[in-house]
Amino acid sequence: MTGDLRRSSPRAHAWGAGSGTTPEARLRQRLPTLDDVERRARRRIPRFAFDFLEGGTGGDLNAQRNRLALDAVELVPRYGNPAPVRTDIELFGVHCAAPIGISPVGVDGIIWPGATRILARAAGKARIPYIAGTLATAAIEEVAELAGPYAWFQLYGLPANDHAVTLDLIKRASAAGVRVLAATLDAPVRSKRPRDLRNGLVVPFRPTPRTILDVALSPPWLLALARAGTPAFRNMERYVEKPATLANTAGFVQSQIKGTFSWDVLKRMRDAWPGALVVKGVMHPDDAEMAIAVGVDGILVSNHGGRQFDAAPAAIDVLPAIVAKVGARATVLFDSGIRSGLDVARALALGARGTFAGRAFLLGLGALGERGAAYVAAMLKEELETAMGQLGAHSPDALAQLTSRHRHAFDFA
């Protein structure tokens, strides 16, 4: 498989087919699904970092609900009209190879050292959007250079000094050439993540004998660390009192980031940001309506991958009601639970224009290092092509015309 999705064709790369003699073909036989990628990643990432990636909040119920709900969406194939499948779409004026992007994963360098740069590079090559986080481990300027027009920037609210840092980050992203800003709405409080507490993954971080042992038992991760250096909050360093050590920056981040912001602050972001503005973490049609009133261009339906509120519905179950409310007034996007190209097809069939995945891409890095993001991008795209071919849907738009059954769709009436 190649990291360049432009060259992947379903015929040449049919998943599981082929001679099996090249290293790439053998890899595809060993890791045909994200579950296989995940098993390999689990062996190569230190336990505390793997738990940080995989965990939800509370009892992980919302994360599980995301998965169960996606699995339950049924799509009815249509036959008799064969034609080549096209997955490309346009998002906010940028032509993308597939309706699949990379969600922001804060402190990604803990999960795989160097992750932000690897993801940015992979997104640029694969021509898919990458939403680099406020808490990414490379600065937005560097991400924009690596990912080109596919670089998006995720913003948390930093209310101190009348949002001075928020507004400066907006200026920096714009100056770096980023075209899409995704403001995260759905983290009003720091959620309780028992796995991280049990593993001592808290600020200030003090390694315990067990974390040291976990690291010692993860040589590929250590090698990546040696190559990439200690992860740091690169976007934040310039706002921290000197010396901007990791501990100082982590303390600053923890004290400054106040999660969600009011609609008034979103309006200020709107006024300050010249590009497309997406609001990330919408779960209620009325919140989508509020965001549209502020002037956003996109609504990213998401429950943060089940990491914020355990009693929340599955994100896929609120998608149709939000799509119905928004209509053509904004671009509706989706994340939370995507693990296959079939999941992407499900979300598009229920009205999303594009989808994103967080854990899937980081698992790719854990399993395969540098080439892992490209591997997962190509896997998801090829699975999507296969699903579309089977469904008789020749384009992403055609997926939205299919007949689907979605028993647990949330009713807001």
Ligand X SMILES: Cc1cc2nc3c(=O)[nH]c(=O)nc-3n(C[C@H](O)[C@H](O)[C@H](O)COP(=O)(O)O)c2cc1C
Report how far residue 207's alpha carbon sits from residue 251's, in angstroms, rounded to the nearest whole number. Answer: 16
In this complex, which beta carbon is closest to ligand X, that of residue 280 or of residue 381?
280
Phi, psi of 298 (to 5 degrees): -140, 150
Strand-pair partners of 74: 405
Stretch that binds ligand X, among 77-85, 234-242, 247-255, 357-365 (CB under 6 A): 357-365
Q: Does 367 help bind ligand X (rule: CB under 6 A)?
A: no
Strand pairing category for 180-184 and 276-282: parallel
For the chain, counts of helices (H) and of strands (E) = 20, 12
Q: Which of 193, 307, 346, 406 binds ligand X (CB under 6 A)?
A: 307
The 3-state DSSP class for residue 79 equals: coil
Q: Which of 336, 344, 354, 378 binds ligand X (CB under 6 A)?
A: 336
Q: Which residues of 131-159 are buried (b: 16+ CB within 10 A; e: fewer)?
A: bbbbbbbbbbbbbbbbbebbbbbbbbbbb
Q: Which of 101, 104, 124, 313 binds ligand X (CB under 6 A)?
A: 104
Phi, psi of 322 (to 5 degrees): -70, -40
- 339 annotated as belonging to a binding site for a ligand: yes
Q: Which of 10, 106, 109, 369 binds ligand X (CB under 6 A)?
A: 106
DSSP-assigned letters across all residues of 154-179? EE----HHHHHHHHHHHHHHHHTT--
- The residues annotated with a catalytic role in the active site are 304
Q: Does 337 help bind ligand X (rule: CB under 6 A)?
A: yes
Q: Which of 103, 191, 211, 256 binds ligand X (CB under 6 A)?
A: 103
Q: Does 351 help bind ligand X (rule: CB under 6 A)?
A: no
Q: Among residue numbers 139 through 158, which ones bind ligand X (CB under 6 A)?
A: 154
Q: Which of 280, 346, 353, 406 binds ligand X (CB under 6 A)?
A: 280
- Nearest-approach distance from CB 53 to ligand X, in angstroms: 5
- Nearest-approach distance from CB 9 to ligand X, in angstroms: 26
Q: Does 135 help bind ligand X (rule: CB under 6 A)?
A: yes
Closest CA to 109 of 207, 2, 228: 228
The 3-state DSSP class for residue 192 equals: coil
Q: Which residues of 262-285 are buried (b: 16+ CB within 10 A; e: fewer)?
A: eeebbebbbebbebbbbbbbbbbb
Q: Which residue is nearest to ligand X (CB)?
A: 358
In this complex, which beta carbon is closest to ligand X, that of residue 325 or of residue 359?
359
Phi, psi of 149 (to 5 degrees): -70, -5
Q: Does 358 help bind ligand X (rule: CB under 6 A)?
A: yes
Give 407's DSSP letter: T
- 64 annotated as belonging to a binding site for a ligand: no
In this complex, which beta carbon is closest to ligand X, that of residue 13 or of residue 44?
44
Residue 296: how many CB atoms within 10 A of its CB?
A: 27
Stretch that binds ligand X, among 15-23, 92-100, 267-275, 352-360 (CB under 6 A): 352-360
- Nearest-approach distance from CB 351 to ligand X, in angstroms: 18
In this complex, which beta carbon is closest to ligand X, that of residue 65 or of residue 163?
65
Phi, psi of 100 (to 5 degrees): -135, 125
Give 371's DSSP letter: G
- Nearest-approach distance from CB 133 to ligand X, in angstroms: 4
Phi, psi of 198 (to 5 degrees): -60, -35
Report how far residue 4's alpha carbon sits from residue 36's, in angstroms, rounded to the nearest whole number. Answer: 22
Q: Does 340 help bind ligand X (rule: CB under 6 A)?
A: no
Annotated binding site for glyoxylate: 156, 193, 304, 307
Binding annotation: 104-106, 154, 156, 184, 193, 280, 302, 304, 307, 335-339, 358-359
Binding site for FMN, by residue number, is: 104-106, 154, 184, 280, 302, 335-339, 358-359
Residues engaged in binding ligand X (CB under 6 A)? 52-53, 103-106, 133, 135, 154, 184, 280, 302, 304-305, 307, 335-338, 357-360
